[in-house]
Structure 1
Amino acid sequence: MDDAPARDLIALFDLENLGGDRFRGHSPASSGRHLYGGQVVAQALVAATRTVPGDRPPHSLHAYFVLAGDPQIPIDFTVERIRDGRSFTTRRCVATQQGRTIFSLEASYQVREEGFEHAAAAPPAPDPESLEPINALVERFCGFLPAPAEHWMKRACALDMRIVAPETLIAPNRLGQFIWFRVQGPLPDDEALHAALLAYLSDMTLLNTALIVHGRNIFDPKIKVASLDHALWLHHAPRVDQWLLYAQESPAASGARGLTFGRIFTRDGKLLASVAQEGLIRLRTKV
């Protein structure tokens, strides 16, 4: 297996330290015209985590996408130390490009504690090995997929993704999406890195869940989509180089916005993280 894609992915989170709780990140050369929302979420989390003691992992983040980012321009992150308590630490991080705010995030960190535990059960799903890799679906759905979707599904990357019931890509579906995913390639035993990678991957395909209800998808040129806000709760320390099941649903859409929820489970059924996102889903007047 070629380890280069995994190394390139990890390199996204190696932010430049500018001093004074300021950091700088860059986008991969293959980004195209649009900045991936999960990238700026993850890089902002990395910047905030750099200012927090190592014994306090993040347990939640809440973020707003303010302006569309340009992947050709470096992203500057400024961290504000909101609170350092005995158990919790709070950080705010603002991302700017050329002096304009494009994104803001607040993250909370907690010293590990014991307490009551309960969690939702994982939905039934076939084993990921029994499902086709996403690039194998291109020929199966080539008559339905637009060119951007084909390119996205064929590209070489560090992510191995298997879609449960891939016919949901092209047919109206109110039951949501179920996707197995993992990062391929060696990853260090660094909890902060795995948390950042999970934040990065938690944005993928989520907004599409609001469109498949109507038999559409994010690659439809007649639809403009953009993430508006994003929330992530980490219930346990993640390992993203092991298979994870992402169960996604959209309970509502109105006002050209779609609301989506996601739950991320380990292969043995443990609820690892919960996600919520609202996004713009606007029909274009011109294509």
Structure 2
Amino acid sequence: MAGRPTLLRQPPDDPNKAPIENALEVTEMAVLGPNIFTNARQLWQPPGARGIYGGAVIAMCLAAAQRTVAPDFLVHSCHCYFLLAGAADLPILFHVEQVRDGRSFATRTVQARQRGRCIFTTTISFVRDSSSAEDADTAVTHASELPRDSDGNPLRPPPEDYDDEPDLLAQGPFQGAKIEVVDTCGSGKPGNKKTRQWMRARGKIAGGVPAHLEALAYVSDSYFIGTITRIHKLWRFPFPAAEYDNLPDELREKVRTLHEWEGMGTDPREMVGRPTIGMMVSLDHTIYFHAPKKVAADDWMFTEMSSPWAGDGRGVVMQKIFSKDGTLLATCVQEGLVRLQAPKPEGKEAKL
């Protein structure tokens, strides 16, 4: 099936849905067996990546699982493992196993498969909506607050008519503001730094709560393990920083735009001499949905990421996702393989 990215003919985009809804559409394949789904459209492979964008696989596994539970069950956690790089030119089959259906909780496992091999697996837990109703006498509640600015005021989202995103980054189903790297302790230590960004889905999501949750799952993987490169100020492009001035004008401008947009500074030449990332791959990904019915992924959401630890060739990043009114919508954790590029032997020049 090489060169055929979907099992069925790709349908035209539905103009009544947001771009993210069209991108994440799954189709049930009852002819193959119960609870088997496939992607309706070709999946995106980021430039330079080993495989397809992981957030899409997470979201489509959630989409398939949500199709197998009652409407009054809402997802509260996903525990995921990336096993193999997914190919963009092959269809994916999502096999959903109904592990448990209780009165208050339901559990599903989903395997994403290509060529008969499992490339991704997740266990997803759902809770009945009524079972989470808070009783003032018995509930234990607290939540992290939306961060504040230097004057002590809650951070404010971009305007509704925001259009300052560079053309280079304005093609996907989500739009975002520039990433900011902050050091609230002023220590300069990577473990004390945080990255912050506002983001939202383009258009208006029409599919109700399930579609908003799938959209949040999709965007939760954006810039996630890459937080390690930002807080350590590591060079990530496939050529030495010292070669920046020798690039063609158009490519040099793209590099400068990406470098600044990701909170790394305005001049890539400042990275000369900094360590270079050699390999960075997500290993696992967990999402805890705290307020699923309040998720409005087509409205501004604020994400803050930090890393409590990196070592032994791996790194852990934690993420909080807030609505613009300050509600903590989700907490995410990701571990990834993080290795620096080995120094080149003396006397050997790098080639573009």
TM range (shorter): 0.7 to 0.9
Q: Does 1:247 align with 2:335?
A: no
Aligned residues: 267
Q: From 317, 326, 338, give the equivalent of 1:260.
A: 317
Q: Deviations over 1:10-37 (max 9, x none)?
A: 1222212112110111554653563001
CA apart distance, 1:242: 0.8
CA shift at 1:163, angstroms?
2.6
Partner of 1:233: 288
1:10 and 2:35 equivalent?
no
Match of 1:127 among 146, 150, 156: 156
* SS in structure 2 at match of 1:211: helix
Deviations 1:118-156 (A, max 9, x none): 1111111542327983427xxxxxxxxxxxxxx5x3x42
Q: TM-score under structure 1 normalisation?
A: 0.84
Q: What's the secondary structure of 2:125's corresponding residue?
A: strand
Q: Which residue of structure 2 lines up, in the alignment, with residue 143 of structure 1?
A: none
SS at match of 1:91: strand
Give the 5 Å matches for 1:86-235. 86-112=103-129, 113-115=132-134, 116=139, 117-125=141-149, 126-129=155-158, 133-135=164-166, 151=168, 153=169, 155-165=170-180, 174-216=192-234, 219=237, 222-235=277-290
Residue type of the partner of 2:93?
A: D
What are structure 2's unaligned runs of at least 5 residues? 1-13, 150-154, 240-276, 345-349
**What do the CA deviations read for 1:24-68 (whole angstroms, capped 9, x no partner)?**
115546535630010100011111111111110101100000011
**Equivalent residue in structure 1 for 2:329, among 269, 272, 277:** 272
CA offsets, 1:179-214, max 9 Å, x none? Answer: 100112121151111101100000001111122221
Distance 2:93 2:309 in 1: 34
User: What is the CA-CA distance between 1:284 and the residue it aligns to?
Assistant: 4.0
Aligned partners of 2:189, 2:201: CA distance in 1, in Å? 29
Matched, 1:67 2:60: no
Of 34, 37, 59, the residue aligned with 1:23 is 37
Q: Is the 8 A contact 1:208 1:217 kept in 2?
A: no
Q: Give TM-score, length-normalised by structure 2.
A: 0.69
| Percent of aligned pairs sharing the same letter | 32
CA contact (8 A) 1:27 1:72 kept: no
How far apart, in 2, do the equivalents of 1:220 and 1:128 lie? 33
Give the gaps of 5 or more residues in structure 1.
137-150
CA deviation after TM superposition for structure 1 residue 255, in Å: 1.4
Give the conservation status (yes or no) of the 8 Å contact 1:41–1:63: yes
Question: CA 1:24–1:204 in 2, change beyond 3 Å: closer, same or farther?
Answer: same
